[in-house]
């Protein structure tokens, strides 16, 4: 495995990752592919640049690596180079995304120094929380 191949593969991983993640492609093919993956609940595969860089690096690492350890190291290295190129070019400012479902109903916290009568008034016999009027 020559250094030229490793550098070329790292640049190819960055280019493919950026192409799939951020560009529409000719005839908007890539945009339609991303929309189709979102409909199949696979949006994490294309919406997160960091995640996508690992998936794109897998075939390159498998082709260039000769042992399992080398394949894993190459996949992680290609992903890291891709992220470094993207961040140094200023193309992506955000880190890894963490999506959390919003609360449907805000419930106020129970005060620490509350007495039992207040507790009995707010919690009915069935044990369900009641909002104060």
pLDDT tens sequence across 64-122: 999 999 999 999 999 999 989 988 887 665 555 555 566 555 555 555 555 555 555 55
Q: Can you tell me the distance from the alpha carbon of 80 to that of 14, in angstroms, rounded to the nearest whole number?
A: 10
> Does 51 map to a domain?
yes
**pTM over cut 0.75:** no
In percent, how much of the chain has pLDDT > 90? 32
> Does 83 map to a domain?
yes
Task: Name the more confident of 55 and 125.
Answer: 55
The model's confidence at residue 9, banded by pLDDT at 50, 70 and 90, is very high
> Does 36 map to a domain?
yes
> Does 76 map to a domain?
yes
Q: How many domains does the chain have?
A: 1
> Does 70 map to a domain?
yes
> Does 27 map to a domain?
yes
> Containing domain of residue 77, as a range?
3-88
> Does 131 map to a domain?
no
Q: Can you tell me the distance from the alpha carbon of 69 to that of 63, in angstroms, rounded to the nearest whole number?
A: 13
> Does 77 map to a domain?
yes
């Amino acid at each position: 495995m020559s250094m030229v191949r490793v550098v070329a593969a790292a640049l190819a991983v960055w280019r493919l990752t950026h192409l799939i993640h951020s560009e529409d492609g000719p005839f908007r093919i890539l945009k339609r592919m991303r929309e189709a993956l979102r409909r199949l609940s696979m949006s994490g595969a294309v919406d997160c640049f960091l995640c996508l860089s690992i998936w794109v690096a897998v075939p390159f690492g498998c082709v260039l690596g000769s042992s399992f350890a080398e394949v894993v190291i190459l996949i992680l290295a290609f992903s890291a180079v891709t992220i470094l190129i993207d961040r140094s070019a200023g193309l992506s400012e955000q880190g890894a995304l963490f999506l959390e479902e919003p609360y449907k109903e805000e419930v106020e916290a129970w005060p620490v120094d509350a007495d039992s009568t207040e507790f009995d008034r707010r919690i009915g016999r069935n044990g369900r929380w009641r909002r104060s009027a």
